[in-house]
Every structure is written in C-alpha cells, then in structure tokens.
Amino acid sequence: AAGRIAIIGAGIAGLACARALTDAGLPVTLFDKARGPGGRMSSRRRPDAIIDLGAQAFSARDPAFIAELDAWRRAGCAERWPTHAYRASNAGWQRLSDDRERFTGAPRMSAITRHLAQTLAARGTALHAGTRVSALERHADGWQIRTDAGAAFGPYTEVVVAVPPPQAEPLVQPWDNTLDALCQRLEQRACWAGWAIFAAPLPVPDGVTESWQQAHLQHPALRLVSRNQTKPGREHQPESLSLLAHTEWSEAHLEDDAEHVAMTLISALKALFPASQPLPELVDHGAHRWLYAQPAEPLAAMPDAGFALGHAGLSLCGDGLRGGRVEEAWLSGHRLGQTLAGCA
Ligand code: FAD
C-alpha cells in the first residue's frame, strides 16, 4: 500500500491534484459522488442545447494556470470566449468595459474536466464515480475509505479531501481538530442556477447595437444571464440562457421548488424588455440548486498556501481554500499535489 493516495472529489481541484501526483509517478485513486467528474464545472445536456450550470467562464492570471490553459486549448477542450457584457435593468442597457480575456470549455464547460479525467485514466488512475464517501477510518496500515453504499477502499497513505469545506468537515472531524476548525470557518454560499431555451433569438434591447454574451442585472433575484449559444462549439444551439440568481436571494429561497425558481428568473428576464418586445416561445427551462456554490467573502480565513496539510497524511484543497474561481481551485489542487509529491 506504500504511496497510494486517495482523492475525494473529482472537480477541477481534485483532478489538478491527481495530475500533479501522477506526473511525479505516484498512484492515485479518485472518488466522486456524482455520475462523472467536473463538480461545479458541469454542464447539462438538454434535448435542444447544452447549458453550463456552474462556472460560466474563467480567466487566467497565474503563469502555471496559463500554461495549463494552453495545454487545454491545444487539446481542443477550452477556447477563448469573446464577450460583450452589459449591465441591464428595465431602465436600460449599458455596455460594461471589461478587457480581461475569458475562456470556456469547448464545446461545453465539462469538456475540460472530462479531458483531465481521460488523461488520468490513460495513466491508470481509477475514478470511482457515483461513490459518495461517508467516512474515513485510520488503521495501522493506513486510511480506509467508507462509502455510503457500505463499500470499503484502501489502505491509503494519504487522503486528499477536494470537496467544499462544509462537505469535508464530517470526514475530517474525527481525525484532525485543526482541519475540522478550518472547515467550520470556511463558509460556502448557495446559488440557484436556472436555464431557459427559446424557439427564437431574444429581442434586441434598446440601445444595444452589437451581439451580447452576458448581462449583469440589477434585480433582486436574477444576477447574471449568459448566452450558451454564443460559446465556442455551440453556435448551432437555439437561444439557450444560463440564469444565475443572487446569493442572498438563493439563500432566502433554498427550499423553493426548482420550477418556481426557474419561472421567477425567467420573469426577471422578461422585465428587461418592454411590453412591445415579448420573449420568444419558451421550449425548455429548469433550475439547479448549488448549496456550496462559492466561498463566502472575506477570504481572510483561507490558509496562505491555498490548501491545508493535516496530520497523518490528511489534507484539503479546493476553491474554498483559495478563492471561488476555476483558476484558484485548479491552483489549490495543483500546488497541494506538487507539495505531496515533494516537488513544490
Ligand atoms: P467542486 O467542483 O465542487 O468539486 C468537488 C467534487 O466533490 C464534486 O464533484 C462533488 O460531487 C464531490 N463530492 C463532494 N462531497 C463528496 C463526497 N462525500 N464523496 C465523494 N465526492 C464528493 N468560477 C469562475 O472562475 N468563473 C465563473 O464564472 C464562475 N461561475 C460560477 C457559477 C456558479 C453557479 C458556480 C456554482 C460556480 C462558479 N464558479 C466560477 C466557481 C467554480 O466553478 C469553482 O470555484 C470550481 O469549479 C470549484 O472546483 P472544486 O474542485 O474546488 O470543487
């Protein structure tokens, strides 16, 4: 069992960590409760369109992440997404100047994490999908992983917990007071993410002379509209919108049903257009609730390293440890992996 490492969570952080460890020749096994990898970089396939339900786009600042993004672009799973963004309210639309380059997965956000998982599989790294880890156990020969289906895996010399801190907390709580206290301090906020697919393009708002990709709203419920059919590789899709709600509104409506949430977000969209510009026919809609969408501000509670090393081979990474963005989540996992491999 010497050197075997388990990673719980196959979001971008867990995958980046696995990649850094396998680069150093260390054997890794991944576990994720979802049907596949990706976590909050997931996309939803609908009959008419693919919708990004979590991260909508990302930017790149750190040289290591820029190099990784270049590799994704060469592999064809990420592309630049030229965006014209607007601030929109029923009082009018104003162009937001934003000169930062933005990228998305191509032809969907989940293409990136799928590519990473496939690269790892080609190196012999197993991903146990649909496997929710319910407890860790420490034995004389190392860590054992228990699943909610009653299965046991192990032993492992190291366990990396790459899930949001509130979900990591019950796993580390029996074994590490410091990691447990850290998880309790690192709050994650919720977000309802709706979608709406229309039979025809949206009307052109007054004063908007170019095609637009994103609108930031001044509305109590709806925060951001992204047009999925403007993303690279999805030009054939009909008008297909991601509709993200504000944190405060999401948390006040956590228990609402998804249908009601979707319709509230769609009426907020409708209110952006005058009565003379009705929305086209709605062909599909829905909403997904992210309980742990992004870390709460301020970030003062986050460890400086952007990951946390505990006792006896237990460690934490993920956006909750570094910042609520794709780049930060990747860096958290990548740096932890390099540290565990002894090459940081
Ligand atoms: P996750 O992606 O959450 O991965 C954790 C994984 O652990 C999940 O796959 C989960 O299924 C699994 N898991 C959890 N518990 C268990 C368990 N007990 N056993 C097994 N598996 C478990 N970032 C940007 O940069 N730009 C954006 O525009 C942007 N927009 C966003 C919009 C929304 C609506 C959301 C939700 C997020 C957005 N983000 C954005 C943030 C970005 O998506 C995250 O920071 C990043 O994807 C987090 O990656 P992660 O690997 O840390 O966590």
pLDDT in tens, 80-122: 999 999 999 888 999 998 778 999 999 999 999 999 999 999 9
Longest dimension (CA), the chain: 72
Residue closest by Cα to atom 4 of ligand 1: 11
pLDDT confidence of residue 207: 84
pLDDT confidence of residue 107: 97
327 CA closest ligand 1 atom index? 25
Kindly state whether residues 262 and 304 are assigned to the same domain.
Answer: no
Kindly state whether residues 13 and 115 are assigned to the same domain.
Answer: yes
Please, which residues have CB within 8 angstroms of residue 218's CB and are 6 or more apart in sequence? 87, 88, 89
Residue 50 Cα to ligand 1 midpoint, Å, equals: 18
Kindly state whether residues 291 and 205 are assigned to the same domain.
Answer: yes
Kindly state whether residues 84 and 71 are assigned to the same domain.
Answer: no
Total tally of structural domains belonging to the chain: 2
Mean pLDDT of the chain: 95
ipTM over 0.90: yes
| Cα gap 43→171, rounded to integer Å | 27
31 CA closest ligand 1 atom index? 20
**Can you tell me the mean pLDDT for 138-161?**
96
Q: How confident is the model at residue 344 (pLDDT cuts 50, 70, 90)?
A: low
For the chain, report the end-to-end CA distance as a whole number of angstroms: 24
Kindly state whether residues 89 and 29 are assigned to the same domain.
Answer: no
Which residue did the predictor score with more confidence, 23 or 299?
Answer: 23
Tokens of 143: 């860590």
Helices (H), the chain: 12-23, 63-75, 110-122, 165-172, 177-185, 247-252, 258-270, 326-340
- Domain limits at 26? 5-77+109-187+298-340
Statement: residue 2 has pLDDT above 50: no
191 CA closest ligand 1 atom index? 34
Whether the CB-CB separation of 49 and 23 falls below 8 Å is answered with: no
pLDDT confidence of residue 343: 67
CATH of residue 209's domain is 3.90.660.10
Enumerate residues lining ligand 1, CB below 6 A.
8-14, 31-34, 39-41, 54-58, 132-133, 162-164, 167, 191, 193, 244, 290, 293-294, 318-319, 324-326, 329
Kindly state whether residues 193 and 266 are assigned to the same domain.
Answer: yes
Kindly state whether residues 247 and 266 are assigned to the same domain.
Answer: yes
pLDDT confidence of residue 241: 98
pLDDT confidence of residue 1: 38
CATH of residue 169's domain is 3.50.50.60
